[in-house]
């Protein structure tokens, strides 16, 4: 998906980024986000997780064709008891709700504050919104307070039992994206 200078949900994406599945053509060796476990995972482990069907990996690629960031996406479930009571009241009384997990999200140090993180999140939202299995929410685990603020700014809400984990109902964000596109006259993104 092409996320060129978009401002969906009020999140600036200043660079032209194309988000696509990780492939053998992407240079992982020189990638660095400044967080060694995330760098090591991307260089050494991600392909194994994809082959084993534990997660998929998507990369934001900038105009020189370099990886500007990545995220992994897998299936998970969300216990109903982790939702705020007012949200839980509006849902069927299932013990678990289907969810998508953004297990890892990292932005290359050279692209910090240029928007690939927001482009990656928006890409994940669109992928799960159009997935055949129903997915109630996206879940993320914030590695620190800065990450928690980033996710909260986008619209994620904290889980009751795990404050470092946040969720965002897919129908809510998909509706906001659709409204924003109607206001700005943009069509549906393709890719």
109 lies in some domain = yes
CA distance 2 to 20: 9
110 lies in some domain = yes
133 lies in some domain = yes
25 lies in some domain = yes
* Helical segments of the chain, H only: 36-40, 46-51, 85-88, 116-129, 145-154, 170-184
7 lies in some domain = yes
155 lies in some domain = yes
Domain extent for 113: 2-183
- Torsion over CA of 97, 102, 65 and 186, rounded to 10 degrees? 40
What's 14's domain CATH number? 3.40.630.30
189 lies in some domain = no
Other Cβ atoms closer than 10 A to 55: 17
Q: Tens-of-pLDDT digits for all 191 residues of the chain?
A: 443 434 444 444 456 788 999 999 999 999 999 999 999 999 999 999 999 999 999 999 987 789 999 999 999 999 999 998 988 999 998 999 999 999 999 999 999 888 888 889 989 998 998 888 899 999 999 989 989 998 998 889 999 999 899 999 998 887 777 776 666 555 544 44
CA distance 68 to 131: 25
pTM across the whole model: 0.84
Domains held by the chain: number: 1
CA distance 107 to 35: 10
190 lies in some domain = no
pLDDT of residue 103: 93
| Nearest Cα residue to 100 out of 63, 80, 72 | 72
């Amino acid at each position: 998906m092409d996320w060129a200078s978009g401002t969906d949900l009020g999140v600036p994406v200043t660079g032209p980024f194309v988000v696509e599945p990780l492939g053998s053509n992407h240079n992982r060796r020189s990638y660095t986000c400044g967080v060694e476990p995330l760098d090591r995972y991307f260089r050494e482990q991600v392909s194994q997780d994809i082959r084993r069907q534990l997660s998929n990996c998507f990369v934001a690629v900038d105009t020189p064709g370099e990886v500007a960031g990545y995220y992994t996406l897998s299936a998970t479930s969300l216990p109903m008891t982790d939702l705020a009571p007012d949200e839980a009241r509006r849902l069927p009384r299932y013990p678990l709700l289907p969810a998508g997990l953004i297990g890892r999200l990292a932005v290359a140090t050279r692209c910090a504050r240029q928007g690939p993180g927001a482009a990656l999140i928006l890409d994940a939202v669109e992928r799960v919104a159009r997935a055949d299995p129903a997915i109630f929410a996206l879940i993320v685990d914030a590695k620190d307070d800065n990450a928690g603020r980033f996710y909260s700014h986008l619209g994620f809400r904290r889980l009751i039992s795990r404050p470092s984990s946040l969720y965002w109902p897919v129908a809510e964000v998909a509706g906001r994206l659709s409204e924003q596109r109607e206001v700005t006259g943009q069509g549906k993104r393709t890719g």
